[in-house]
């Protein structure tokens, strides 16, 4: 398998940054055998859903080290062909949007299982995994918060295998679409639903084949429709797979932001963590390093609903019909109503 050459982020870093990341990697390897996964958190949620902000807030509240995006294509390194053998000639755009699929036990996918066993303990060599960490000292911590944005089709398998408390953060897909298209990334506008959901040879086609005609039609629409359809189909599968699991919280971003530190404290409490109120308040107030600079400092309500001014009305109307079809009609009301 070959892929479009990946951006080399290491070349953009200076020698001091590379040295710092190398030391973090060495400390991660040293502490890997002492990581307490049962007192750590696995954080899931699609791109631009507030996961980076919540990642930092959870790590701050728990005194945990941050592990960032093991499913980011640059983290796979030379293991990409064996980790994703279902992809023959993946382009960078395909890989950027790709959600690895694990339907049964993670142990039934031994190569992926081995990779994740190392990743959740910080033992893989990717600098991307530790690039958002604030200090070298954080690398000595025995708890981790591991953030994934590409885990919607595998989070149950990971939750069951590692027995980790898990949070899935879900944001209104219209806001997700607007935020993705606001970034200087090419892949959201090039998202192809057939390539992502029907063509890989790992069994996922059985999940989405009933929507094949719709997928063909949506692939002819603009990026807002395609992103919202991708979100709806994968999020619906995730919701069905998460029913009945212990120590797993499905959290709507809008409710978390509106509820403030008390809501975050409630999530932590339900997962079995007893954290001081003042520590939760400080964690909640942290800024995300991936927030668009011009939006920093905006009131939460303004940031949550600003997407309404950015999206094409016709695309938005079709996107909202897709949301209603897949059982997310309540999001049309909680986010300020639909455009219809």
Write the pLDDT tens digit of every residue in 266-286: 999 999 999 999 999 999 998
HEC per residue, 93-158: HHHHHCCCCCCCCHHHCHHHHHHHHHHCCCCCCCHHHHCCCCCHHHHHCCCEEEEECCCCCCHHHH
Confidence of residue 338 (pLDDT cuts 50, 70, 90): very low
CA pair distance 130, 133, nearest whole angstrom: 6
CA angle 240, 68, 70 (to 5 degrees): 65
pLDDT tens profile 158-207: 999 999 999 999 999 999 999 999 999 999 999 999 999 999 999 999 99
* The pLDDT of residue 9: 44
Q: Which residues have CB under 8 Å from 112's CB, separation 6+? A: 83, 100, 102, 106
- Residues β-bridged to residue 147: 43, 68
* The pLDDT of residue 208: 98
- Strand, helix or coil for residue 57: helix
Q: What is the pLDDT averaged over residues 104-128?
A: 94
Confidence of residue 10 (pLDDT cuts 50, 70, 90): very low
Q: Is the Cα torsion angle 268, 170, 116, 103 positive or negative in sign?
A: positive
**CATH superfamily entry for domain 21-334:** P-loop containing nucleotide triphosphate hydrolases (3.40.50.300)
CA 4, chain centre distance (Å)? 23
CA angle 88, 147, 233 (to 5 degrees): 55
Look at residue 296 and tell me whether its pLDDT is greater than 90: no
* The pLDDT of residue 265: 97
Q: Is the Cα torsion angle 301, 306, 309, 314 positive or negative in sign?
A: negative
DSSP state of 43: E
Secondary-structure breakdown of the chain: helix, strand, coil percentages, each rounded to the nearest 5: 60, 5, 35
Report the predicted TM-score, pTM, of the whole model to 2 decimal places.
0.91
* The pLDDT of residue 321: 96
Q: What is the pLDDT averaged over residues 142-155?
A: 97
Confidence of residue 244 (pLDDT cuts 50, 70, 90): confident
DSSP state of 47: T
- Helix (H) or strand (E) segment spanning residue 189: none
Count Cα atoms within 13 angstroms, Cβ side, for 246: 5
Look at residue 96 and tell me whether its pLDDT is greater than 60: yes
* The pLDDT of residue 307: 79
Domain positions in the chain are: 21-334
89 vs 295, higher pLDDT: 89
Task: For residue 104, give the nearest of 156, 45, 165 by alpha carbon.
Answer: 156
292 vs 19, higher pLDDT: 19
CA pair distance 91, 89, nearest whole angstrom: 7
Q: Which residues have CB under 8 Å from 291's CB, separation 6+? A: 53
- Helix (H) or strand (E) segment spanning residue 244: none
CA pair distance 102, 113, nearest whole angstrom: 10
* The pLDDT of residue 167: 98
């Amino acid at each position: 398998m070959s892929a479009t050459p990946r951006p080399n982020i290491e070349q953009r870093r200076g020698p001091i940054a590379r040295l710092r990341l190398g030391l973090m990697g060495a400390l991660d390897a040293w502490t890997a055998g002492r990581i307490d996964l049962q007192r750590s958190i696995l954080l899931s949620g699609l791109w631009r859903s507030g996961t980076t902000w919540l990642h930092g807030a959870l790590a701050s509240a728990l005194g945990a080290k941050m592990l960032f995006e093991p499913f980011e294509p640059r983290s796979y390194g030379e293991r990409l062909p064996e980790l994703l053998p279902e992809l023959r000639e993946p382009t960078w755009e395909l890989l950027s949007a790709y959600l690895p699929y694990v339907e049964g036990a993670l142990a039934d996918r031994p190569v992926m299982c081995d990779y994740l066993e190392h990743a959740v303990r910080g033992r893989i060599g990717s600098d991307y995994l530790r690039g958002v960490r604030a200090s070298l000292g954080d690398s000595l911590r025995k708890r981790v918060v591991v953030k994934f944005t590409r885990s919607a089709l595998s989070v149950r398998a990971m939750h069951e295998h590692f027995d980790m408390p898990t949070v899935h953060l879900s944001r209104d897909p219209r806001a997700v679409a607007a935020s993705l298209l606001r970034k200087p990334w090419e892949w959201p506008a090039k998202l192809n639903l057939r390539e992502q959901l029907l063509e890989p040879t790992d069994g996922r086609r059985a999940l989405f084949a009933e929507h094949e005609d719709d997928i063909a039609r949506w692939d002819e629409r603009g990026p807002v429709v395609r992103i919202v359809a991708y979100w709806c189909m994968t999020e619906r599968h995730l919701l069905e797979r998460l029913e009945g699991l212990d120590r797993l919280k499905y959290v709507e971003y809008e409710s978390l932001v509106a509820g403030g530190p008390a809501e975050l404290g409630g999530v932590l409490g339900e997962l079995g963590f007893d954290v001081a109120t003042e520590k939760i308040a400080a964690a909640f107030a942290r800024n995300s390093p991936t927030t668009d600079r011009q939006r920093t400092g905006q009131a939460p309500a303004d940031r949550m609903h600003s997407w309404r001014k950015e999206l094409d009305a016709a695309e938005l109307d079709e996107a909202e019909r897709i949301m209603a079809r897949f059982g997310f009609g309540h999001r049309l009301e909680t986010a300020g109503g639909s455009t219809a």
